[in-house]
Structure 1
């Protein structure tokens, strides 16, 4: 999860003393206090809403080879067509499930032909829509083994500074580990364990045919701290070491195309417009993943230093 809901601070109201001096407030005054508190906090609660782009409709667009973007404007979902059906990566928010299903159909794939749903990690903004999409498609769900419990209980793992944001639970048909693969038809994706953001955070890699040479595609799982508690995280004591290993691992990968769960990290929507305008290599950028990793390393070190103080 990249952006965090803001908790509304408590509202303290100073009221005049009851007529005649001391004594308790009457029922009508108490009701007024409650009403004023709710009214005062309403703007703060409205500010806790998800970014509008997360649920803003985005028409599907081709990326490269068999890959099509089918997510919202602000949260990514990727469709991969194969010789034996299709693979969907992530389900985004629960309220986006219908839009994703329509985008899949608009991309020329019948929902029931989606055979696999791969989940990058167990946070509400990427997994909450998966149960509805699993029901609509009948697809098998695959996720990192260390996130299976979180997905099946709808409770995100670890401790954060913003509390717990639950999501609809979903049965995971296969828990996958580092280096294992999933194959549908002639298409194979490899799972690369990327723990830290969540224990089961999983990066997916694949190679697609292209000229003059095949292209390596990386769907990186997030390595942002995004409110995770790095110090004293009793539910996830190895979180710091996991983050460091995952950032280092991503730095070893070669990627011609980078497709993250939050599209703004790789300008996915802008690249999509360029692709639709005729630039067939709009998504090809071998320098992008090293830049993302370098920024992530700096951001992680800064967050760790801040939490250590």
Structure 2
């Protein structure tokens, strides 16, 4: 099934969103990013750990087989698994959500997700219709369903949920502010706006998908962002930028999103011709 999914991505997604499948499960050591934010994911799928005075927040758990590697990275940073209090979800697709059940079990953390994806997470059935079929994942209870503008706070650290539906109905971009050298910075964990096999026409499970994509693309393009940390790290060269000290990159999010808009427009026209 994974091969079918990746084949669909290769057809439907832009070149910068295409992935080398082995990278999704290839473990790497944790990477210090910026402020209290660390990278604890695999080479090709991001999981971000945010340390606070009252515990830690994890953004995404990626695939089920990656959970042991993510947990090793968390412990390597001196954080106990039981100190992870919240797991924030970007969206309900198997490559970002299949590890949630195991991570929740091992940490005792509460799962927080966009309201539009809560049912998918609690049933293990991804939302919408795709060209590659249905790839299920372990169901997980959602402790809190967030909507646009909701805030999640732990130990004096606050993240804001920005609803950016399209890729999934509850696709949630998370934002937070940090200070660096006395300068405030906007950090954005953008949810994907790639088509990646989503049906843009005749999607009976998600009839408003195309309109949501367009609205979210416009919203993300205008979002203040000094640091961009996406769910697929290569989309913003996160690991390379961290290594070379170039994580602060105003304008990068807009550049990424405008490229995604062009790719969306091409795919919309292609699917429209096929649908006629």
TM range (shorter): over 0.9
CA separation in 1, counterparts of 2:256 and 2:55?
A: 32
Structure 2: segments with no counterpart, 5+ residues: 9-18
TM superposition shift of 1:50: 7.3
- The aligned residue for residue 51 of structure 1 is 21
Structure 1: segments with no counterpart, 5+ residues: 8-48
Question: Any conservation in 1 of the 2:6–2:21 contact (CA below 8 Å)?
Answer: no
CA separation in 1, counterparts of 2:193 and 2:49?
A: 23
Match of 1:301 among 251, 265, 268: 265
CA separation in 2, counterparts of 1:272 and 1:103?
A: 16
Match of 1:272 among 242, 266, 272: 242
- The aligned residue for residue 4 of structure 1 is 5
Which 4+ runs in 1 deviate beyond 3 A? none
1:285 paired to 2:243: no
CA separation in 2, counterparts of 1:225 and 1:172?
A: 25
* CA RMSD, Structure 1 to Structure 2 (Å): 1.5
TM-score (norm 2): 0.92
Question: Any conservation in 1 of the 2:90–2:171 contact (CA below 8 Å)?
Answer: yes
TM superposition shift of 1:214: 1.2
- The aligned residue for residue 68 of structure 2 is 98
CA separation in 2, counterparts of 1:54 and 1:208?
A: 29
Superposed counterparts of 1:32-47, under 5 Å: none
CA separation in 2, counterparts of 1:234 and 1:262?
A: 28
Match of 1:196 among 166, 180, 195: 166
Figure out how many residues of one structure are paired with residues of the other and give that number. 261
Question: Any conservation in 1 of the 2:38–2:49 contact (CA below 8 Å)?
Answer: yes
CA separation in 1, counterparts of 2:174 and 2:20?
A: 26
CA separation in 2, counterparts of 1:105 and 1:151?
A: 26
Structure with the larger RCO, 1 or 2 (CA within 8 Å, 6+ apart) = 2
Larger Rg: 1
TM superposition shift of 1:211: 1.2
- The aligned residue for residue 160 of structure 1 is 130
Local SS of the residue matching 2:87:
strand
